[in-house]
Chains A and B, each alone.
Chain A
């Protein structure tokens, strides 16, 4: 055998032939075994990868949950930011005074009576006559206050009246806004010569001292005008939807603003 190997090594021609024959014989076997080894290796890699993927998946899910929670929090912050800006605007419009946050605990919405019950009373500084507002505008006035709750008459109540004027500097028409018993308001006693238009904003004028000046009441939607009358009137869309009240405040003037 050794002699045969030496002879093959020393004789290039027969050596090459032998090698070629050996390759031809072993090649398919090699291919088969190599393929099998590859398949096993791939299977094993996939098997390991599944475990890794499951772990990665769980980590991604956790990350998504965390990001979603952050997104929700950010939206809340955005809304709070928006509300605080509006509240700042409200404070600036309402003048010096304290805003006492309140919640509605009961309500009565009938054509005859439109009132709310709020969760603050005299113990918290809420007194009769104080205005109830949201950042959108005027809601009503406190008519009864006990120690822990108070009743508020909505501006849409037929017994409510607010001295008002048109905010537009080119108009400044004055009048009296009364409730119509459902969702509407009417501004009456507007002098005929005063020019008013639909779409104009109406605010409290502060006359009479019942409501502070500058609180938004509503927007003119229709004008009722007869040449023979002394006064004209206008129907208003209230700025505040009494069926969707949130973030309410009682406006309590400071001692300084009361003296002014």
Chain B
């Protein structure tokens, strides 16, 4: 049931991102809801579930986006791996640690996507263009991370209560 809840949330996040998300920009930066959920799931359940959640979230993004199919699945799996490798408990007491993780993971995500596109022989935007959106995106994700983490935990608690009921 927790997996089903998270995968449903990932699908909703991917849909939101492809419809509303593209229209929401703060200083050229846009939040990545799927990335935030993958981070939250990896933080909550550790490395294995983080990787699987990343693959699911990434595949959903690949279906809805115009990026080469499979790129997001691979990158998100690596994100789930990198974040999930820490002990889950370490995040629970620190909002700052969660935000910092999201901040750095957003940078890592962009670097991995950049490298992936380069390996696929795609043209890449200039560093100036990337940096215009990257730093605002990192800050946005860092701000939203504690909220997304809290929402995921509430959703999981609610569905667990339904399970037991």
- Interface assignment of B91: CB less than 8 Å from any CB of chain A: no
Report whether over half of chain A's contact residues are helix, strand or loop; otherwise say mixed. strand
- Interface assignment of B94: CB less than 8 Å from any CB of chain A: no
| B66: contacting residue among A105, A111, A151, A181, CB under 8 A | A151
| A182: contacting residue among B114, B124, B132, CB under 8 A | B132
Does A153 contact B125, Cβ atoms closer than 8 Å?
A: no
Does B129 contact A182, Cβ atoms closer than 8 Å?
A: yes
The count of residues in chain B whose C-beta lies closer than 8 Å to any C-beta of chain A is: 23
- Interface assignment of B130: CB less than 8 Å from any CB of chain A: yes
- Interface assignment of A159: CB less than 8 Å from any CB of chain B: yes
A153-B133 Cα distance, complex, nearest whole Å? 20
B contact residues around A116 at 8 Å (CB): 66
Between A and B, how many residue pairs show CB distances below 8 Å? 67
Q: Given A106-B64, A159-B123, A182-B129, decide whether A112 and B18 contact each other with a Cβ distance below 8 A.
A: no
The count of residues in chain A whose C-beta lies closer than 8 Å to any C-beta of chain B is: 25
A108-B32 Cα distance, complex, nearest whole Å? 11
Q: Given A158-B123, A159-B122, A159-B123, decide whether A110 and B129 contact each other with a Cβ distance below 8 A.
A: no
> Which residues of A line the B interface, CB within 8 A?
105-117, 143-144, 151-153, 158-159, 178, 180-182, 243
New A-B contacts (7) at CB < 8 Å, excluding given A106-B18, A112-B130, A115-B65:
A107-B18, A107-B23, A112-B124, A113-B66, A115-B66, A117-B64, A143-B66
